[in-house]
Amino acid sequence: DSSDFVEVEHYIKSNYKEPNDELFGIAEGKNVILISMESIQTFVINNDMNGQEITPFLNSLIDESIYFENFYHQTAQGKTSDSEYLVANSMFGRDSGSVFFTHAGNEYDATPSNLGEEGYFTSVMHPNNKSFWNRDMMYQSLGYDRYFDINSYDVNDENSVGWGLKDVDFFEQSIDLLKSQPEPYYTKFITLTNHYPFDLDEEDKFIDEYDSRSRTLNSFFPTVRYMDHALEVFFDRLKEEGIYEDSIFILYGDHYGISENHNRSMAMFLEKEEITPFDTIQLQRVPMYIHIPGYDQNHVSEMIGGQIDIKPTLLHLLGVDTKDMYHFGSDLNSPERDSFVVLRDGSFISDDYIYTRGICYDKQTEEEIDAESCEPYFERVNLDLNYSDKILFGDLLRYKNPEEEWKTESEK
Ligand code: GP9
Ligand code: MN
């Protein structure tokens, strides 16, 4: 009830982190292009497979971006939908199932509605059926103005592979849709080609398959390489159209692509004897870029964070105050911020430790150490997850504007 809300609110307010003075408002009024990159993991960045560069475009983009090398996905069974939920709300998804299905009717205080209030037009572009992941329902609750689903695209046998429209064609066909929108806009693109089982036409294979016992890992590399190519073509097209300069880009990986079922082949690729639980956690890192054309203070950030932090980070760049919002993440650029992230299963990562499956690891040596070292963090981990769940399961954001609730209909 509303007393639960007061308790959660107190916790959230006490964890607020001031924005970074130099970056607050730096992208004010710009169009926002958010790109959710399917199944990509950080281990492919600046790496090669049998001497072939896996992500040449994303590697070069690091030099022109704030790139977060210790950024983790925080998803569970809800996969892409969990990542969308985390990014939109700065709250955790469910530990099982998908919030998109179970709580599409909740009251939210999501980025699309926040930016709608700032005069933004908000949309999602993704060539799949609108009801997949219950997106059509959930997107309304999150405050999106428009979902350009499969019906907005020309999808046929020639331009499809695997799950549907190829990424190059998806981005190309999205250009006119983008241009049709009122500015400024906040638009999320969700890519599709780099999705399990990583099918790809021969003509789109720019690098070889890997050679291991895992067919999944083998075919992952060419589809990642293809997505990287699609992103490069998209950026070139945006430059040609004059859209690029007035935009800010956030690119992030949605969740892992290679599960632990492929650990033996993954160990072979990473030239390790085995994949330990420590390695498994480090493999949950996904790429995260903030790219602002014309902004030259770019750098690689070691700040540990996750998808839950994207909302306050982005809103601060756009000059939107978040002090009165309900976030479990915090601005990745804030000088006050702790370098720390909680994963949905209760694992956590700090500068010094990784805790997972009941074991505390020393970050430096990767050795198991006494649980005592990790204990001081347990309370925070539990509170973050429990309070986030409390809001979700109690639909507590209903209580966020008490004055409004108390007004009679005629006073509203
Ligand atoms: C489907 C796409 C993939 O529309 O977003 O979803 P996933 O299986 O990765 O959750
Ligand atoms: Mn996905």
Any ligand 1 atom below 6 A from CB of 195: yes
Any ligand 1 atom below 6 A from CB of 165: no
* pLDDT given for residue 288 in this prediction: 98
Question: Which residue, 169, 174, 155, 292, is CA-closest to 226?
Answer: 169
The ligand whose atoms approach the alpha carbon of 254 most closely is 2
* pLDDT given for residue 406 in this prediction: 47
* pLDDT given for residue 401 in this prediction: 81
* pLDDT given for residue 294 in this prediction: 93
The ligand whose atoms approach the alpha carbon of 252 most closely is 2
Residue ranges of the binding site: 38, 80, 195, 254-255
Cα dihedral sign for 32, 316, 7, 337?
positive
* pLDDT given for residue 403 in this prediction: 61
- pLDDT bin (cut points 50, 70, 90) of residue 404 is low
Whether 408 is a known active-site residue: answer: no
**Centre of ligand 1 from the C-alpha of residue 405, in Å:** 37
Catalytic residue (choose from 42, 55, 75, 80): 80
**339-390: per-residue pLDDT in tens?**
999 999 999 999 999 999 999 999 999 999 999 999 999 999 999 999 999 9
Res. 411: pLDDT tops 90: no
Any ligand 1 atom below 6 A from CB of 101: no
The ligand whose atoms approach the alpha carbon of 128 most closely is 1
Give the ligand 1 atom nearest the CA of 132: 4
Any ligand 1 atom below 6 A from CB of 196: no
Any ligand 1 atom below 6 A from CB of 80: yes
Q: How far is CA 104 from CA 76, 81, 107, in A?
A: 17, 11, 9
**Phi/psi at 349 (nearest 5 deg)?**
-130, 130
Residue ranges of the binding site for substrate: 195
User: 3-class SS at 351?
Assistant: coil
Residue 75 CA, chain-centre distance (Å), reads 9
Q: Which residue's alpha carbon is at the smallest distance from atom 6 of ligand 1?
A: 80
* Tokens at 77, concatenated: 């069974």
**Centre of ligand 1 from the C-alpha of residue 80, in Å:** 5
**1-13: per-residue pLDDT in tens?**
788 999 999 999 9
* Tokens at 255, concatenated: 């969740």
User: DSSP secondary structure string, 292-347?
Assistant: -TT----EEE---EEGGGHHHHHHHHTT---TTS--SS--TT-TT--SEEE-TTS-
